[in-house]
Every structure is written in C-alpha cells, then in structure tokens.
C-alpha cells in the first residue's frame, strides 16, 4: 500500500472546496492550482512578476512540507487571467524555472477572481532534482 500525505494550508477555500494544497503518493506529488497570495500578509501583489514569483514561492513551500523542492517539478500548468499578461508571466516563470525545464501548459481561462492574474499547478517527483538528466533535441 502506498504512503499518502495530504497537506493543507488552513486556507478557507480548501475546507469549502474539500481539497488539499498538495497530495503526495509515495514520491509522486500533485500541487493544486495555486494563487499568489502572500501567506503572511494575506495580500496578492498587483505586479505581474511579483505575483508570479509569489505563486512559485507558495508552491515551493508546499513542496518543502513533503521534503521536495521546486527542482523536483516535472510538469506545470500556468493559468493566466488576461492574455496580454502572458509575455511578462512567461518571462518571470521562465527565469525561475530555467534549468528545471518541466513540461508546460500555459492557457488563459477565467480565474476565480480578477485579482488572480496567474495561478499554477504542478506535478513533482521527489528526488528527481538529483537524477541524471539527458536532453534530446528533436525536430518537429
């Protein structure tokens, strides 16, 4: 039987929506769609880059709770509220994730509030950050 760990942050929406911030099944880790609310101040930065970095900080904190790191991320989905913000968000995300290079889906659906300019969910595998990586370049 696999070990399962469910992490909650105390956010009222987790209780209301009956979900966990993160679920780890053995070394597979699934992080729910995460917004850029600063957990200490409860504020969401207006600046796109700051909000994107706060989202990634929040994800990194959730991963740390199960002894994983951002470098263990193998897949990410980035949800951008407004299409005109894609370039700035992608640049900020890219600066932070450069060298990790997970798969990426970036899309522009309506988010739960106009305050949320970006939300991200990820899948990680604990320990992948220490694995040997072979990159292949293919032509499509």
Which tokens go with 135? Answer: 């990159």
As a whole number of angstroms, the distance between CA 73 and CA 22 comes to 13
pTM summary value: 0.94
Q: Of 55, 67, 66, whose CA–CA distance to 96 is shortest?
A: 55
As a whole number of angstroms, the distance between CA 35 and CA 12 comes to 14
Which tokens go with 77? Answer: 């989905």
Q: What is the pLDDT of residue 20?
A: 87
Instruction: Give the pairing of strands 28-34 and 73-80.
Output: unpaired
Domain boundary assignment for the chain: 4-130
Q: Of 34, 80, 79, 74, whose CA–CA distance to 57 is shortest?
A: 34
Q: What is the pLDDT of residue 123?
A: 98
Per-residue pLDDT of the chain in tens (140 residues, 90 and over written 9):
989 999 998 888 888 889 989 999 999 999 999 999 999 999 999 999 999 999 999 999 999 999 999 999 999 999 999 999 999 999 999 999 999 999 999 999 999 888 999 999 999 999 999 999 999 999 87
Contact between 70 and 56 under an 8 Å Cβ cutoff? The reply is yes
CATH architecture of 4-130: 2-Layer Sandwich (3.30)
Q: What is the pLDDT of residue 15?
A: 86
Alpha helix (H) residue ranges in the chain = 12-17, 48-64, 86-97
As a whole number of angstroms, the distance between CA 100 and CA 103 comes to 10
């Amino acid at each position: 039987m696999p070990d399962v760990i469910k992490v909650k942050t105390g956010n009222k929406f987790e209780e209301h929506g009956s979900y966990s911030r993160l679920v780890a099944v053995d070394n597979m880790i699934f992080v729910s769609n995460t917004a850029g609310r600063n957990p200490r101040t409860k504020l969401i930065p207006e600046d796109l880059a700051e909000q994107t970095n706060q989202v990634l900080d929040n994800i990194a904190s959730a991963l740390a709770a199960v002894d994983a790191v951002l470098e263990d991320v193998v897949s990410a989905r980035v949800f951008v509220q407004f299409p005109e913000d894609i370039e700035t968000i992608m640049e900020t995300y890219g600066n932070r994730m450069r060298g990790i290079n997970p798969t990426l889906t970036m899309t522009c659906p309506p988010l739960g509030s106009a305050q949320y300019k970006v939300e991200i969910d990820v899948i990680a595998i604990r320990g992948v950050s220490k694995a040997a990586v072979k990159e292949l370049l293919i032509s499509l």
